[in-house]
A and B are shown apart, each in its own frame.
Chain A
Amino acid sequence: MAGHKIDPEKGIKIRSGIILFAAVTCIILLSLHFFYIQISQNSKYSSRVDDLTKTGKSLRGKRGEIFDCNGNLLVANQPCVRIIASPCNIKTDTLRRKAAGLMVEYLGGDFSFYYKKLAPVVRRRQKDGSFVLKPNVYQQIARFAPCDKGYRLQEELQKIKINFNTVSFQEISRRIYPKGKLLANVLGYSDLEKDNDVPRSGLEKKLDSAIAQKSGFTEYGRARDGKRLDYVDNIVKPSQDGKNVYLTISEPIQAILEEELDRGMAEYAPKTIYAAIADPATGDILAIAQRPTYDPNDRSTYKSEAIPNRIAEDAYEPGSVVKPFVISRALDLGVIHPGMIFDGEQGKWEEERNLRDTHDYGQMDVAKIIQKSSNIGTAKIAKLLGKNQVYLTLLLFGAGQKTNLPFPIESSGRIATPAKWDKYSITRFPIGYGVLWTPLQLLRAYCGLANNGLMPQLNIVSRYENTATGQITTPAKKSFLQLFRKPDTAAQIVEMMIKVTQPGGTATRAAIPGYEVAGKTGTSHRVINGRYSNQKLASFVGFVPARKPRLVMLVSVDKPSKIGTHGGTVAAPIFSRTAQRILQYLNVAPDQPVPEK
């Protein structure tokens, strides 16, 4: 037995060894397990934890704003708060009444409106037509509440223990138009759908690729009860702001034009008026306006006849405003010279299917043809020029070609090829019938006449500004188109067009005291159901000061019903009043001393 006796010290050592071995093994196994969890399976478990605790929201960024050439804000973003409630979480009626009272205090409106919205249950229609009561889990209290009032309401609601689970406040941004109706048809408007701006018309739509923001994403931790764990957002993908756009439009000039169009609407009660102003030297559009129009901030003014940008979308037969194109081309090609005399055919040219003038002008030189707006004289010049040259002339001045301004819809007008002309086309096209022009095409062509025969491309966007980097980009400027071969043709036609606004001309009402005005009236009959009607479209296109023009303006009045129906009596006064005020604003010195009143 003595041989089997174990030494106690040795026993302790063995037991210690075993315990040590077991402990080390445990530690190693634990370490291996930790390694497995923390390192090998890290992504799996991290994502599982993130799923349970992390939540995220999209970062919207800021949509680019639109300014005029002087930095006046035309389209802006307005921060506001959307208030959403889950009224079923409000336990007592007293609390509901208190909440409704606070909403009245901060958001305005009627108590019963909010109280009804905060009802714990709502009636829902079933498929079979019956109604059931369901918990009221979602109610929009306010769509665009002002930020300051929204936040104060939030604080007050928290004081009465109505937390964010019951009433939530989402910070959103909406598009506003600080100048109201100003330039509304050109700027267009955008809607807010699912927190995203959806452009509907105008520059908002066409320039969307530049001004739209790029959304980002941020995440933060939250507890099971919805409370935030991280105070600072972890931005996963930063948002990008849209570019700001600066237009060539001048807000004061635009305002003057719109004011005068309002006056024109009151005086002549037409169906529509449209007008546009451009700088002939650069082709920059300074103002575009139309009536009727709408206020993009006020949905009740959104009417189908008010929203389209008619100045780009409408094409019409403009009448006599086209005459200077053909006459100047004939002068340039040497087909006629200013001293040539044409017979007025006693006001009625029977050979050409009774082409008429308003009076018998007798023997006319070229200047008188323009001054009196003689259809017969112009038709005779066109016949001298020939069919193909007339067609080429109209093409040269931009008929049938878009101006490529950034409008979602732009009409190109219409001009038939000579092969499709009938025998009267050559006498009708040069007097503004049979060819559809858009107001912008006419404006561009007159810029060419005013700019010594160099026709510019029209521009409305001056520059883009990257708000993050401050980088400015300008759209590529296109070259000018030379209209005439002889250097003095433009000056000759301008001299003739000055006479239009002087005594004896058709547009004496377009004259501005102290300034020489060159221009041309146009009156055309509107086509209704395929026939020319008695409804008229009166136009005046002119530039001032005539010899060194600062602005070219087109005014078209559709279906004027009071006072008169001719370009000289309806459109010319609008031109005169508007141009006079703009010249004052631009501080353009008069050509002659201004007569004392």
Chain B
Amino acid sequence: MNIQSGHTTRINRQSNRKVQQSFGRHTARLIKALILVLAVTAAMVVNTNLNQRIAETRSLIAKEQRRKNTITNEIVLKRNRIEELSSMAYICRKIDQYGLKLHFANPGQISKMTLRSNVSCEHRFAAWLRSRESISSMTAAR
């Protein structure tokens, strides 16, 4: 007959409590471990993700660097070409080739104007216009 009596002994109660406590404790531990594992996994995922992004960025930097180098090289090549084409000897050769008969201006043909003040050309022009207008208004008044 497996019929338990209505009252429980102290030992039984203790063992029951222990079972209940150990279950709670195990669950708590499991949750803690899960949280830990989750945290570690999340950290690893974040780490991998960031590493991936760093690698991608670096690759992008390297690509841009190469592109920059290519553009710099092209600029240098173009500059060298411009220097070749703008050399006096080249220009003179072309003038002869096309029979343009160009030559330097005679010294008397060139005159350089020196500006007497630091006022910009626009201001001077505006001042000149104002003076012209005032002269014309004065003559009109007469």
Contacts and interface: CB of A to CB of B under 8 A. Distances in A.
Interface stretch (B5-13, B19-27, B71-79, B115-123): B71-79
Interface in B71-117: 72-74, 76-77, 79-81, 83-84, 86-89, 92, 103-108, 110
A78 B77 contact: yes
Nearest to B62: A231
Given A232-B62, A251-B88, A78 B80 contact: yes
B73 A147 contact: yes
A396 interface: no
Nearest to B87: A179
A255 B74 CA distance: 27
A577 B72 CA distance: 42
Given A231-B62, A587-B107, A79 B87 contact: no
Contact of B107 (A73, A258, A588): A588
Interface stretch (A436-444, A526-534, A578-586): A578-586
Contacts of B81: 178
B61 interface: yes
Nearest to A590: B107
Given A78-B80, A79-B73, A79-B76, A256 B88 contact: yes
A119 interface: no
A232 B110 CA distance: 57
B41 interface: no
Looking at chain A's contact residues, the main secondary structure is mixed
Contacts of B29: none
B58 A584 contact: no
B47 interface: no
Contacts of B62: 231-232
Most buried by B among A72, A77, A79, A230: A79
Nearest to B61: A232
Most A C-beta atoms less than 10 A away, residue of B55, B59, B79, B107: B107
Contacts of A147: 70, 73-74, 77
A252 interface: yes
A73 B104 contact: no
Interface in A171-214: 171, 176, 178-180, 182
A217 interface: no
Given A178-B87, A584-B103, A76 B110 contact: no
A255 B107 contact: no
A293 to B, nearest CB: 12
Nearest to A148: B74
A231 B58 contact: yes
Nearest to B66: A151
B104 A259 contact: no
A132 interface: no
B55 A76 contact: no
A242 B109 CA distance: 43
A171 B65 CA distance: 14
By size class, the interface of chain B is 20 to 34
Given A78-B77, A587-B110, A259 B55 contact: no
A255 B83 CA distance: 14
A259 B87 contact: no
Contacts of A255: 87-89, 92
A54 to B, nearest CB: 16
A258 B88 CA distance: 11
A176 B74 CA distance: 15
A77 B81 CA distance: 12
A176 B80 CA distance: 9
Given A231-B55, A255-B88, A584 B83 contact: no
A594 interface: yes
A73 B105 CA distance: 25
A589 interface: yes
B81 to A, nearest CB: 8
Interface in B24-71: 55, 58-59, 61-62, 65, 69-70
A232 B108 CA distance: 61
B80 A76 contact: yes
A458 B68 CA distance: 43
B104 A76 contact: no
Contacts of A76: 76, 79-80, 83
A251 B65 CA distance: 36
Given A76-B83, A179-B87, A231 B77 contact: no
A73 B77 contact: no
B110 to A, nearest CB: 5
B83 to A, nearest CB: 4
B58 A230 contact: yes
Contacts of B106: 584, 594
B77 A79 contact: yes
Nearest to A151: B70
B83 A179 contact: yes
Nearest to B106: A584
Contacts of B59: 231
B104 A585 contact: yes
A581 B107 CA distance: 10
Contacts of B74: 147-148
B103 A178 contact: no
A180 B80 CA distance: 12
Given A147-B77, A182-B87, A231 B61 contact: yes
Contact of A584 (B61, B73, B84, B104): B104
A232 B57 CA distance: 10
| Most chain B CB inside 10 Å of its own CB: which residue of A171, A180, A581, A587 | A587
A258 B59 CA distance: 52
Contacts of B88: 251-252, 254-256
Nearest to A580: B104
B58 A72 contact: no
B80 A590 contact: no
- 10 closest cross-chain pairs (CB), A and B: A255-B88, A231-B62, A584-B104, A178-B83, A231-B58, A79-B73, A73-B83, A178-B84, A252-B88, A147-B73
7 contacts: A72-B86, A176-B80, A178-B81, A179-B89, A231-B55, A258-B89, A583-B107
Given A588-B107, A589-B108, 10 more contacts: A72-B86, A72-B87, A78-B76, A147-B77, A180-B84, A231-B62, A232-B58, A256-B88, A259-B92, A584-B105
Interface of B: 55, 58-59, 61-62, 65, 69-70, 72-74, 76-77, 79-81, 83-84, 86-89, 92, 103-108, 110
